[in-house]
């Protein structure tokens, strides 16, 4: 499911850089675990891992770990205390970087901004990342505590955008997980950099996967 490719382009767009390759969209309750309110970081990590499994050489047999397995990995690494396993404590970009390195030998570069107003200063770093690797980025914050995936950048003559894939979707009996419906409902969309909180810091985890380690191209 390449959900982000169905998002309509921004009007007047001049340049776009996107995630390339297949992945699975992981979201709240998608595997039967009710993680509403605390699991968005895990779900974004699972989406990134699914991209690595689909696109990194030698990783196709690796399963995407469950939330419980991710917690256990962080405990074994001694990043978290034993009581973290089985808890409802959230994770952010730093923990995402640790897990990717542990499981796939893919380090995560943490890019920090003190507020949403500074995201424009790191825009080119993300653009270059997508151009070189095509790998999704994890984005988390403090006051804006809703973790999310960044799947592209674009710019017009006057504005810049991130392509956001939001893990907060919850499937019910009355709704479908058809990709087009998810995009129409706004679970994947272009977000103007002005739309991010000016009162929240942001940490972005850019997986440092080498181009020669990829199946694509």
List active site positions.
40, 166, 168
What is the C-alpha to C-alpha distance for residues 178 and 16, in angstroms, rounded to an integer?
Answer: 25
**152 strand-pairing partners:** 18
Q: From the CB of residue 128, how many other CB atoms can be counted at a distance below 10 Å?
A: 13
Contact 108, 96 (CB under 8 A): yes
SS3 for 179?
A: helix
**CA 162 centroid distance within chain:** 12
What is the C-alpha to C-alpha distance for residues 119 and 145, in angstroms, rounded to an integer?
Answer: 16
Of 205, 197, 14, nearest in space to 125 by CA: 205
**CA 175 centroid distance within chain:** 23
SS3 for 106?
A: coil
What is the C-alpha to C-alpha distance for residues 195 and 170, in angstroms, rounded to an integer?
Answer: 23
């Amino acid at each position: 499911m390449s959900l982000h490719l169905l998002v309509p382009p921004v009007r007047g767009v001049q340049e776009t850089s996107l995630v390339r390759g297949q992945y699975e969209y992981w979201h709240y309750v998608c595997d039967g675990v009710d993680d509403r309110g605390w699991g968005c970081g895990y779900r974004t990590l699972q989406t990134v891992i699914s991209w690595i499994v689909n696109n990194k050489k030698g990783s196709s047999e690796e399963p995407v770990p469950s939330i419980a397995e991710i917690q256990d990995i962080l405990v074994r690494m001694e990043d978290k205390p034993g009581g973290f396993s089985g808890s409802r404590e959230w994770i952010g970009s730093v923990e995402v970087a640790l897990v990717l390195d542990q499981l796939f030998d893919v380090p995560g570069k943490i890019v920090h901004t003190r507020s949403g107003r500074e995201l424009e200063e790191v825009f080119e770093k993300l653009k270059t990342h997508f151009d070189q690797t095509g790998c999704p980025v994890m984005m988390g914050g403090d006051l804006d505590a809703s973790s999310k995936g960044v799947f592209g950048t674009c710019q017009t003559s006057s504005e810049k955008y991130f392509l956001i894939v939001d893990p907060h979707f919850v499937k019910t009996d009355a709704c479908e997980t058809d990709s087009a419906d998810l995009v129409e409902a706004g679970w994947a969309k272009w977000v103007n950099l002005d739309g991010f909180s000016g009162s929240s810091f942001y940490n972005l985890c850019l997986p440092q996967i080498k181009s020669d380690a990829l199946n694509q191209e």
